[in-house]
Chains A and B, each alone.
Chain A
Amino acid sequence: MQEAVIPSAGQTTVPIPATAPAVEAIIRAEKIEKYYAQPSQNRILVISATDLSIVPGEIVALLGPSGCGKSTMLRMLSGLSTPTAGQVYWHEKPIASAEINVSIVFQSFALFPWLTVLDNVEAPLQARGVPADVRRDRSMKILDTVGLDGFEAAYPKELSGGMKQRVGFARALVVEPEVLFMDEPFSALDVLTAENLRSELLELWANKTIPTKSIFLVTHNIEEAVLLADRIIVLGKNPGHIRTDFKVQLSQPRDRTAAPFIELVDYIYKVLTKPDEVPAEAPEQQAEPKPRDQRQHYQMLPHSRPGGIAGLLELLLDKGGRDDIYRMADNLSFEIDDLLPIVDAAQLLGFLNVEEGDAVITASGTEFANSEILRQKELFRDAAVAHVLLLRQIRLALEAKSDHTVPEEFFIDMLNEQFSEEECERQIETAVTWGRYAELFDYDAGHRRFVLPDAQDEEVAASEDAE
């Protein structure tokens, strides 16, 4: 979300949102500028007064045309270069006197050719006075993480470009930096190797294998920025200034061919190719609906029969839609242990809610209780498919298969991951009962297979013929 403000003369920027970050920024740059002094006493302004924050938990990409000062900006933020004006803060302390913990991965790898891979990775630890055996352990572990196990004694000369950059990553990560800076790390590699390394980096980041809190990437490759970053900053040149700064809300893994991706790339391309125009707002990105996670937990089906659910709901409605569960059990001379599964089942299907020990009937529950048998079955069917994963899966599997039968084993396998053998059996039993009642599917006990009920079998076949 950006505010459109009338820019002052000569500026082509959209100001960064003024919403204060909820989390403390790790690195915060306040009005930093960089001049380069010429011998003729002329000063060239390379970066004009800029504010920038790096907050934990995000990958920031800095994009811009060549010569706009991206690398200079990176060096100022990492403490390698002192801004001519303004101040950079590390956890709110001036960076020049703070003990910062950052690493840089370089475009040309910057490995020392006369040291082995292991020596190269150990060197930063040596600088920190880590004892030799600890150093070795940590380095071997990180080399394993980046996939270079076995190459410790090799020299950089013997490695390919991709492997050299892996060593670069290993060296950067062995010190467990809080912020990882990357200066066009993949531009010296061929396309496939770069792709590989990018996805491995994302994996390390997503699985939190590395304790790095934030990544700052400088790149001139728009696609790379949109693939990796959670936040993109576009820099303009003469002098360097931020033109736009927006969040990328596409969910990982990102699909290059998806429409929102292409739209974003186009937008950035337009911004870059029209350096004199104020950039428009970033396109609205629908947070893509998360694909159904197939590894969701199976709900434990309460062992009760549909008839019992129906009865309970009618009784509840009779009492005005709300009753204390224990009193109900008393009145019906039920053991509470016998009543609870029915209550649970009804709650699972969304027919009632439990509030402070009371069972409260819902709208759909009311409808169910008031309907006659066939309508009840329909309602039950809808509720079951909507709320019960196992039933939904069985139904979908049956519809997908051409012969509309599925062996029971298939589902037992998956249930086994959550429940014991015995419980699996009982779950299947209850599922079969509910499925039969709701006319979702039928069960061939002889062959231990789920089948579609006959009538619907024909329906489905007819609709398939029509296609």
Chain B
Amino acid sequence: MKPPHTLAQTRVPAQTWSILIDLAVILCGLAFFLGIIKLGTYWMARPMPAIVISHSVRALPLYAFYSVARIAIAYLFSLIFAVSYGYIAAYNRRVEAWMIAVLDILQSIPVLSFLPGVMLAMMALIPSHQLGIELGSILLIFTGQVWNMAFSFYSSLKSIPREMIEASRIYRYSAWQRFWQLELPFSAIGLIWNSIVSVAGGWFFLIVCEMFAFRGTNFRLPGLGSYLQTAASANPVDTHALLWGLTVLILIIVATDQLIWRPLIAWSDKFKFEQTESATRVTSPILSLLQRPNALTHLPARVWGGMEEHIYHRLSQTRECRIVQPIDDTIGKRGKLLPLMLAAFAAPAILWSLFQAYLLLRGTSWAEIRLLLLGAGATYLRVNASIAIAALWTIPVGVTIGSNPRLARYLQPITQVVASVPATALFPVLMLGLIRIGGGLGVGSIALMLMGTQWYILFNVIAGAMAIPSDLKEVATVYHFTRWQRWTRLILPGIFPYLVTGMITASGGAWNASIVSEYFHIGDRTLQTLGLGAQISAASDSGNISSLLLATILMASIVVTMNRLVWRRLYRLAETRYKLEG
């Protein structure tokens, strides 16, 4: 018996275009299938590490397809890994602290310094197929995407309300049911937003990963990134190709936003853990289109429904579903074996790699070390300068946008798209401009860092300004606060937690960006400046592995230390003194 239409269902307007939608869905499925075949044949072909990148515009669609495929696969791997990692960390108290510390460190390591190493390793692993090289790039993109999703899933799991966990226990949910009905839906919103950030970061790395030099040899993968880089490093610069490449890139990003992210965000409203309806909701016409009954909705329901019943029936026989599992017991049981196993595996590996590292670094001179430290200092200053400049303009703009809901509704989606465009794709254009002006890379790199990271701060400031409760604003009006008072007493403290979050992300992004912004191939020249990022790139270019290792260790240590000393403290301040609700 079909339940009568209720409020939930009447929101979707009823129209009669179901055939068109079905057709569209079928076409998409077909395209997807064809894509997989094409990708498979390409990957299984003989490896071509230094493929010649064509400049013609006609090659663009294929290159775009390859790039999108890499990002999509890397994202899928990241999602699965992030969910598993977060799950294990959240439910095993013994390993939890270690896993989160590892997450922290891995998040701070500059991904791009591992570019040559990972590529070479993967090529050695699968020498006979293109797959090896592809896997290398996918792995690199993966390492840039996975950590924030893992952290988001982990913190969502830890903040599930206690009574819902108790309900799932007393009614004897299996781990499977709990995952699909409680844990995943509760974390869905966080995962979706972090996915958007991750995919944007993925593009950032992809552009760089697809073409790089190591020990004089050039490595190139067919894709949008290498296309843009080739166009930029041609002599003279192929502006026509560059512009076309950028256009295609922006089109892809806009399409991703409209066809994937916006429907997902609109759909994720369902998972909002609010007890009442909220006034502002993101709408997406694509979502409404897909939610109407069509082949896409009927088919999975029937197939999946039958399988699901079978699974639940089998699960109901297990111990977990017949006996109530007490909540405080789970920590003890799983915790003992896992850390021992991990320690057993990790210890010899760590010792071996430490030994190798020692061998490698034995030959470094003090002069080298001094140079590295100088470079570190320079980059440090630049990173902080870029954050300061970014804050300077994003705070006023962000507060203005955030305080005006109508403005926010128009501008927020646009800023989202603009922020997703990878700065690394725009670097060549910027560099050209910089050379015209005649500025050096010393200041230019700050501009480049800004481009990549100011959006994080802007987003967070907008969100913070929107979150200031209206009654506090009314107090400011009623008591006639001066502008100065408004800012120092209300706005800045109000957005402080969000500002700190944005700055932490921006700082991490700036350090990563320094590797590509302080050392640049353009035309036939190589621009560089004094900085740790430049030193890493230069070392990678020339194949000086010991230098590379040392510089990477130095950068990672600085980032981790900054995290602990500065950002962690600020974050704690934000959580305690400046938190708005109790």
Counting CB contacts under 8 A, is B323 at the interface?
Answer: yes
* Residue ID in chain B nearest A78 by CB atoms: B170
User: Assuming A103-B171, A123-B173, is B166 touching A153 (CB within 8 A)?
Assistant: no
Counting CB contacts under 8 A, is A53 at the interface?
Answer: no
User: Assuming A123-B181, A153-B9, is B171 touching A114 (CB within 8 A)?
Assistant: no
| Cβ contacts under 8 Å, B324 to chain A | 78-80, 95, 100, 102
Counting CB contacts under 8 A, is B312 at the interface?
Answer: yes
Distance (whole angstroms) from the CB of A159 to the closest CB of chain B: 9
Distance (whole angstroms) from the CB of A36 to the closest CB of chain B: 10
Report how far A412 CA is from B500 CA in the complex, Å.
Answer: 85
Counting CB contacts under 8 A, is B581 at the interface?
Answer: no
| Cβ contacts under 8 Å, A97 to chain B | 323
User: Assuming A80-B327, A110-B166, is B313 touching A155 (CB within 8 A)?
Assistant: no
B323 A116 Cβ-Cβ under 8 A: no
A132 B309 Cβ-Cβ under 8 A: yes
Distance (whole angstroms) from the CB of A107 to the closest CB of chain B: 7
Counting CB contacts under 8 A, is A326 at the interface?
Answer: no
B326 A80 Cβ-Cβ under 8 A: yes
B177 A110 Cβ-Cβ under 8 A: no
- Proximity string of chain B (75-92) to chain A, C-beta cutoff 8 Å, 1 when within and 0 when not: 000000000000000000
Distance (whole angstroms) from the CB of A150 to the closest CB of chain B: 7
Please report whether the interface of chain B is mostly helix, strand, loop or mixed according to DSSP: helix
Counting CB contacts under 8 A, is A129 at the interface?
Answer: yes
- Proximity string of chain A (111-134) to chain B, C-beta cutoff 8 Å, 1 when within and 0 when not: 011111010000110111101100
Report how far A103 CA is from B172 CA in the complex, Å.
Answer: 10
Question: Within the complex, which residue of B3, B4, B9, B177 is in contact with A118, where a contact is CB–CB below 8 Å?
Answer: B3
A104 B167 Cβ-Cβ under 8 A: yes
B7 A129 Cβ-Cβ under 8 A: no
Counting CB contacts under 8 A, is A465 at the interface?
Answer: no
B170 A102 Cβ-Cβ under 8 A: yes
Report how far A150 CA is from B5 CA in the complex, Å.
Answer: 9
B316 A153 Cβ-Cβ under 8 A: no
Report how far A326 CA is from B310 CA in the complex, Å.
Answer: 75
Report how far A143 CA is from B2 CA in the complex, Å.
Answer: 15
Name the residue among B5, B164, B329 with the largest chain A CB count within 10 angstroms.
Answer: B164
Question: Within the complex, which residue of A80, A100, A158 is in contact with B6, where a contact is CB–CB below 8 Å?
Answer: A158
Report how far A15 CA is from B506 CA in the complex, Å.
Answer: 65
Report how far A377 CA is from B5 CA in the complex, Å.
Answer: 72
| Cβ contacts under 8 Å, B174 to chain A | 127
Counting CB contacts under 8 A, is B182 at the interface?
Answer: yes
| Cβ contacts under 8 Å, A108 to chain B | 161, 163
A99 B322 Cβ-Cβ under 8 A: yes
Counting CB contacts under 8 A, is B179 at the interface?
Answer: no
* Residue ID in chain B nearest A124 by CB atoms: B171
Counting CB contacts under 8 A, is A151 at the interface?
Answer: yes
* Residue ID in chain B nearest A175 by CB atoms: B171
Counting CB contacts under 8 A, is A98 at the interface?
Answer: yes
B171 A106 Cβ-Cβ under 8 A: no
| Cβ contacts under 8 Å, B273 to chain A | 113
Counting CB contacts under 8 A, is A414 at the interface?
Answer: no
Counting CB contacts under 8 A, is A82 at the interface?
Answer: yes
Distance (whole angstroms) from the CB of B268 to the closest CB of chain A: 9
A154 B172 Cβ-Cβ under 8 A: no
User: How many residues of B are in contact with the other chain, CB < 8 A?
Assistant: 46
Counting CB contacts under 8 A, is A404 at the interface?
Answer: no
Report how far A126 CA is from B312 CA in the complex, Å.
Answer: 7
| Cβ contacts under 8 Å, B317 to chain A | 129
| Cβ contacts under 8 Å, B6 to chain A | 151, 153-154, 158
Report how far A155 CA is from B329 CA in the complex, Å.
Answer: 33
Distance (whole angstroms) from the CB of B274 to the closest CB of chain A: 7
| Cβ contacts under 8 Å, A107 to chain B | 163
Distance (whole angstroms) from the CB of A38 to the closest CB of chain B: 15
B326 A79 Cβ-Cβ under 8 A: yes
Question: Within the complex, which residue of A78, A81, A131, A171 is in contact with B309, where a contact is CB–CB below 8 Å?
Answer: A131
Counting CB contacts under 8 A, is A75 at the interface?
Answer: yes
User: Assuming A81-B327, A99-B323, A110-B161, is B316 touching A128 (CB within 8 A)?
Assistant: yes
| Cβ contacts under 8 Å, A127 to chain B | 171-174, 177, 312, 315-316, 321
User: Assuming A110-B166, A123-B177, is B8 touching A158 (CB within 8 A)?
Assistant: yes
A82 B181 Cβ-Cβ under 8 A: no
Counting CB contacts under 8 A, is A152 at the interface?
Answer: yes
B4 A75 Cβ-Cβ under 8 A: no
User: Assuming A80-B166, A97-B323, A114-B270, is B328 touching A157 (CB within 8 A)?
Assistant: no
Counting CB contacts under 8 A, is A262 at the interface?
Answer: no
* Residue ID in chain B nearest A129 by CB atoms: B316
Report how far A75 CA is from B177 CA in the complex, Å.
Answer: 22
Counting CB contacts under 8 A, is A396 at the interface?
Answer: no
| Cβ contacts under 8 Å, A110 to chain B | 161, 163-164, 166-167
Interface residues of A in 13-64 (CB under 8 A from B): none
* Residue ID in chain A nearest B169 by CB atoms: A80
A153 B172 Cβ-Cβ under 8 A: no
Counting CB contacts under 8 A, is B277 at the interface?
Answer: yes
Report how far A127 CA is from B173 CA in the complex, Å.
Answer: 5
Question: Within the complex, which residue of A80, A98, A154 is in contact with B7, where a contact is CB–CB below 8 Å?
Answer: A154
B171 A123 Cβ-Cβ under 8 A: yes
Counting CB contacts under 8 A, is A6 at the interface?
Answer: no
| Cβ contacts under 8 Å, B271 to chain A | 113-114
B164 A96 Cβ-Cβ under 8 A: no
| Cβ contacts under 8 Å, B185 to chain A | 112, 114
Counting CB contacts under 8 A, is B276 at the interface?
Answer: yes
User: Assuming A108-B163, A123-B173, A175-B171, is B3 touching A153 (CB within 8 A)?
Assistant: yes
Report how far A372 CA is from B3 CA in the complex, Å.
Answer: 78
- Proximity string of chain B (320-350) to chain A, C-beta cutoff 8 Å, 1 when within and 0 when not: 0111101111000000000000000000000
A104 B309 Cβ-Cβ under 8 A: no
* Residue ID in chain B nearest A132 by CB atoms: B309
User: Assuming A81-B327, A112-B164, is B7 touching A128 (CB within 8 A)?
Assistant: no
Distance (whole angstroms) from the CB of B277 to the closest CB of chain A: 6
A106 B163 Cβ-Cβ under 8 A: yes
Counting CB contacts under 8 A, is B275 at the interface?
Answer: yes
Interface residues of B in 102-139 (CB under 8 A from A): none
Counting CB contacts under 8 A, is B262 at the interface?
Answer: no
Counting CB contacts under 8 A, is B94 at the interface?
Answer: no
Report how far A112 CA is from B273 CA in the complex, Å.
Answer: 9
User: Assuming A103-B171, A110-B164, A112-B185, is B329 touching A157 (CB within 8 A)?
Assistant: no
Report how far A161 CA is from B315 CA in the complex, Å.
Answer: 33
Distance (whole angstroms) from the CB of B295 to the closest CB of chain A: 22
Distance (whole angstroms) from the CB of A98 to the closest CB of chain B: 7
A96 B313 Cβ-Cβ under 8 A: no
B276 A157 Cβ-Cβ under 8 A: yes
Report how far A80 CA is from B328 CA in the complex, Å.
Answer: 8
Interface residues of A in 80-101 (CB under 8 A from B): 80-82, 95-100
B173 A80 Cβ-Cβ under 8 A: no
Report how far A171 CA is from B321 CA in the complex, Å.
Answer: 17
Report how far A124 CA is from B173 CA in the complex, Å.
Answer: 7
| Cβ contacts under 8 Å, B326 to chain A | 79-82, 96
Counting CB contacts under 8 A, is B272 at the interface?
Answer: yes
- Proximity string of chain B (343-372) to chain A, C-beta cutoff 8 Å, 1 when within and 0 when not: 000000000000000000000000000000
| Cβ contacts under 8 Å, B161 to chain A | 108, 110
| Cβ contacts under 8 Å, B272 to chain A | 113
Report how far A110 CA is from B182 CA in the complex, Å.
Answer: 11
- Proximity string of chain B (146-171) to chain A, C-beta cutoff 8 Å, 1 when within and 0 when not: 00000000000000010110110111
* Residue ID in chain A nearest B320 by CB atoms: A127
Extra contacts, 6 of them, besides A110-B161, A114-B185, A157-B274 (Cβ < 8 A), are A97-B323, A112-B182, A113-B270, A129-B312, A158-B6, A171-B171
Complex A-B: 10 CB contacts under 8 Å: A80-B170, A80-B324, A82-B328, A113-B273, A116-B8, A124-B172, A127-B174, A129-B312, A129-B321, A158-B8
8 nearest CB pairs, A to B = A129-B316, A124-B171, A79-B324, A110-B163, A153-B3, A110-B167, A129-B313, A114-B185
Q: Which A residues are closer than 8 A to B by beta carbons?
A: 75, 78-82, 95-100, 102-104, 106-108, 110, 112-116, 118, 123-124, 126-129, 131-132, 150-158, 171, 175
